[in-house]
Chains A and B, each alone.
Chain A
């Protein structure tokens, strides 16, 4: 009894210690489990990934008769991820090209407030451009076809990860099975750990004498990717096991799989990592996951084990072997039929890329981002996966970039003294292209090389516009003068703040009066200054300010020659009003911001404001057309520009800046050339900037309708004597037709060429009576 009690007493502390240890371990594990579960909850319940926002161009509109060539459209479709096929296009994104037609199966169109299912369409071309667009099945004509916007750029955060989120409901069963076959066949049967899988992996590793098979379940992989550092230690493995068990306890299998499918790393595109099956599906096969074939799904799943080792872009043979292995596992598990296995094994491994992620129109995107940052914090832009739709036209942007690069190189070739070895000191240029009526910015090139200089010379530079400012002086003068008015072209001195200023013409010319139209066409300085002085400098400033210039315009006589600095975008916008019936548009780059769920967060529309009458705007355009037909822009014809254009050249003192602003009713483009530090470029606007403008317009025939502005009802035509500017009479040697504001039509007849006999005078008098009525 004593012995027993002794034994009992001896065992009790040991048992108590053990029990206490168990309790302590239990409590510790519970607390640790609770700690991990809060970590998991925190990580999974909030925003799981940072998704870069995507900037899109505007969608493209195609229609019969549009002067767009087959090769240009084919190139665009390639950029949009269409794949060339030899047979009939059967799947969305298939494209078959023949010498005169493009037969394609359109992608789905998803743009704000519109969604259209992809369908098959055939676009036939002739020498002029698009001849017809039809739906091949019933030969139904398509009068207008919208092609999806192009991705222009991604707004990344620090992670530089790209991921397109997919919901498990939209992932096809064969992709899920392929992933399970590749990584964790028993996923739906285990509770986070798979002992059978571990033993099988160990056996395989021992047999091969190397690490050939991992035993981690999908849940373990997820735990590892989400919560743990990559080093392989025992403690990390234990933590991984704990996390897996807790994740399985907290979430159902489909949730875990969905997170996994969106999380996994599946390759690298330059400095950007490709994550998740949604993104990888587009990166490797150019289609959404829902459209992946069984073979493609198997190839994608096969990548998980080693995205770079099994990448079809790195080693196609290896990728093919891995795909086939996944396919066989799928068959072994009964997930695909024998027939599906056979056909999938026989199908080639066709990919679309690799295509580097777009980084287009960097100056445009910078400008856009600066506007977006007034609406959203920078961090939100790089993490919320917003879709940002813009007015950018990728074709116009590419044409503008190319024209500028070629034009600057041409200038350097023609004048080697302009060449600079230091990239940041090189000759610079900038281009902006707009729709004059709506203010849509179609293209923006803010400099020669964005990598060297991010200074946007379209939106941030302040440069003297030179003669490109003169139209605002002439517009103001239309209250007193007409295009036929004779204006003095004589040297004069002006006193400004006690100093004498004597303007000169750029080129020597005979003194004597010039018609207003002629003076603007030839950009005569003496006339412009005199006109400004006669009109009143304050009035000129007021008129110009109404056109949206935000920089100070000083009421000095030199203002008329463009001495006050302007921002190039504001100058382009101001010219829009001439092309747009006197209506000034807001320069629009952002159209819509849409969140991941497709909800519109922000929407911008064209916004207009009348700044002059349609009649005056038309007369200005008519006079600016003379710049091209008979003035400083005459050389446009030499570059193949034969359609009606209104334009103005600009050259500043000492040839520091060269400008060309030209427009049609459909499009307006401004070109600036110069050095950032103001070193003279030794060339005028017509020599340096005009050829770039011509090159650009020649490259975008789809924007050239060849039409001209409609004459407003209160503009009238009258024949006048070119020498007197008065109504022409029979004796006038050079009568010309001129346009006038209805209230400003000359009433007086030419006195220089009066009819010599009384009968002629009587006839002219009678004619005058009728015209006067």
Chain B
């Protein structure tokens, strides 16, 4: 079986990154619900953009929903785990989620 090639260009991925940035800004402003709404749309546009899962995990952690934060962190790990600049952040996030469970 041959796994399909990735398409050369994915305009949805570019648009998705725009939304990721917006979601990130909303998180910074302390608006997790608005950030989640935007990041969900970003996931719909490009389901393999791991950054969206990372920030979704942050938003859920912000809201104190550790189970959801954990699920999204695992997805972030799946997509970003091999990217050197992200792998550490994802691990650190996992530790924070675990830490918040212990508290």
A residues apposed to B, CB below 8 Å: 61, 63-66, 112-114, 143-144, 435-438, 440, 483, 517, 580-581, 583, 591-592, 603, 605-610, 614, 622, 625-626, 629, 644, 665-666, 705-713, 717, 736-739
Instruction: Give the Cβ gap from A663 to chain B, nearest Cβ, in Å.
Output: 11
Q: Is there an interface contact between B1 and A63, defined as CB atoms closer than 8 Å? A: no
Instruction: State which of A65, A517, A605 has its C-beta within 8 Å of the C-beta of B14.
Output: A65
B99 adjacent to chain A (CB < 8 Å): no
Q: Is there an interface contact between B11 and A737, defined as CB atoms closer than 8 Å? A: no
Instruction: State which of B1, B33, B45 has its C-beta within 8 Å of the C-beta of A603.
Output: B33
Q: CB within 8 Å of A: which of B1-38? A: 1-4, 6-7, 9-15, 18-19, 31, 33-34, 36-37
In angstroms, Cα B11 to Cα A360, docked, is 30
In angstroms, Cα B18 to Cα A65, docked, is 14
User: Which residues on A sit within 8 Å (CB–CB) of B31?
Assistant: 113
B75 adjacent to chain A (CB < 8 Å): yes
User: Which residues on A sit within 8 Å (CB–CB) of B82?
Assistant: 713
B90 adjacent to chain A (CB < 8 Å): no
Greatest chain A CB density within 10 A among B10, B12, B44 is at B44
User: Which residues on B sit within 8 Å (CB–CB) of A583?
Assistant: 71, 75
In angstroms, Cα B34 to Cα A77, docked, is 26
Instruction: State which of B10, B40, B47 has its C-beta within 8 Å of the C-beta of A605.
Output: B40
Q: Is there an interface contact between A61 and B41, defined as CB atoms closer than 8 Å? A: yes
User: Which residues on B sit within 8 Å (CB–CB) of A438?
Assistant: 40, 43-44
**Total A-B Cβ pairs within 8 A:** 107
Give 13 CB contacts A-B under 8 Å.
Answer: A65-B9, A66-B11, A143-B15, A435-B43, A437-B44, A437-B47, A438-B43, A580-B47, A608-B68, A626-B1, A712-B78, A736-B1, A737-B1
B79 adjacent to chain A (CB < 8 Å): yes
User: Which residues on A sit within 8 Å (CB–CB) of B43?
Assistant: 435, 437-438, 606
Q: A144-B19, A437-B47, A666-B47 are in contact. Are A708 and B4 (CB under 8 A)?
A: yes
Q: CB within 8 Å of A: which of B40-99? A: 40-41, 43-48, 68, 71-72, 74-75, 78-79, 81-82
User: Which residues on B sit within 8 Å (CB–CB) of A713?
Assistant: 78, 81-82
Majority SS of interface residues in chain A? loop
In angstroms, Cα B78 to Cα A66, docked, is 27
Majority SS of interface residues in chain B? helix
Instruction: State which of B10, B13, B79 has its C-beta within 8 Å of the C-beta of A710.
Output: B79
Closest 6 CB pairs of A and B: A65-B11, A63-B15, A644-B4, A708-B4, A706-B7, A113-B34
User: Which residues on A sit within 8 Å (CB–CB) of B37?
Assistant: 112-113, 591-592, 605
Instruction: Give the Cβ gap from A594 to chain B, nearest Cβ, in Å.
Output: 13
Q: Is there an interface contact between A606 and B3, defined as CB atoms closer than 8 Å? A: no
Q: Is there an interface contact between A707 and B44, defined as CB atoms closer than 8 Å? A: no
In angstroms, Cα B10 to Cα A672, docked, is 31
In angstroms, Cα B4 to Cα A629, docked, is 11
Instruction: State which of A63, A606, A610, A710 has its C-beta within 8 Å of the C-beta of B48.
Output: A710
Q: A605-B37, A610-B71, A610-B74 are in contact. Are A708 and B6 (CB under 8 A)?
A: yes
Instruction: State which of A63, A440, A707 has its C-beta within 8 Å of the C-beta of B7.
Output: A707
In angstroms, Cα B71 to Cα A440, docked, is 18
Q: How many positions in chain B have a CB within 8 Å of any CB in the partner chain?
A: 37
Give me 5 other A-B pairs in contact (C-beta within 8 A), A435-B44, A437-B43, A706-B7 excluded: A665-B47, A666-B44, A708-B3, A712-B78, A736-B1
Instruction: Give the Cβ gap from A605 to chain B, nearest Cβ, in Å.
Output: 5
Q: Is there an interface contact between B44 and A440, defined as CB atoms closer than 8 Å? A: yes
Q: A583-B71, A710-B79 are in contact. Are A705 and B10 (CB under 8 A)?
A: yes
Q: Is there an interface contact between A622 and B1, defined as CB atoms closer than 8 Å? A: yes
User: Which residues on B sit within 8 Å (CB–CB) of A706?
Assistant: 7, 10
In angstroms, Cα B47 to Cα A737, docked, is 26
Minimum CB distance partner of A439 in chain B? B40
In angstroms, Cα B43 to Cα A708, docked, is 15
Q: Is there an interface contact between B10 and A607, defined as CB atoms closer than 8 Å? A: no
Greatest chain A CB density within 10 A among B1, B13, B19, B46 is at B1
Instruction: Give the Cβ gap from B27 to chain A, nearest Cβ, in Å.
Output: 13
Q: A708-B3, A713-B82, A736-B1 are in contact. Are A606 and B40 (CB under 8 A)?
A: yes
Q: Is there an interface contact between A517 and B15, defined as CB atoms closer than 8 Å? A: no
Minimum CB distance partner of A58 in chain B? B41
Q: Is there an interface contact between B15 and A61, defined as CB atoms closer than 8 Å? A: yes
In angstroms, Cα B1 to Cα A708, docked, is 14
User: Which residues on B sit within 8 Å (CB–CB) of A66?
Assistant: 11-12, 15
User: Which residues on A sit within 8 Å (CB–CB) of B36?
Assistant: 605-606
Minimum CB distance partner of A111 in chain B? B37
In angstroms, Cα B34 to Cα A622, docked, is 35
Instruction: State which of B2, B14, B79 has its C-beta within 8 Å of the C-beta of A63.
Output: B14
Minimum CB distance partner of A711 in chain B? B3
In angstroms, Cα B40 to Cα A114, docked, is 15
User: Which residues on B sit within 8 Å (CB–CB) of A607?
Assistant: 68
In angstroms, Cα B47 to Cα A438, docked, is 9
Q: Is there an interface contact between A705 and B71, defined as CB atoms closer than 8 Å? A: no
Instruction: Give the Cβ gap from B72 to chain A, nearest Cβ, in Å.
Output: 8
Minimum CB distance partner of A59 in chain B? B41
Q: Is there an interface contact between A614 and B47, defined as CB atoms closer than 8 Å? A: no
Q: A61-B45, A713-B81 are in contact. Are A622 and B3 (CB under 8 A)?
A: yes
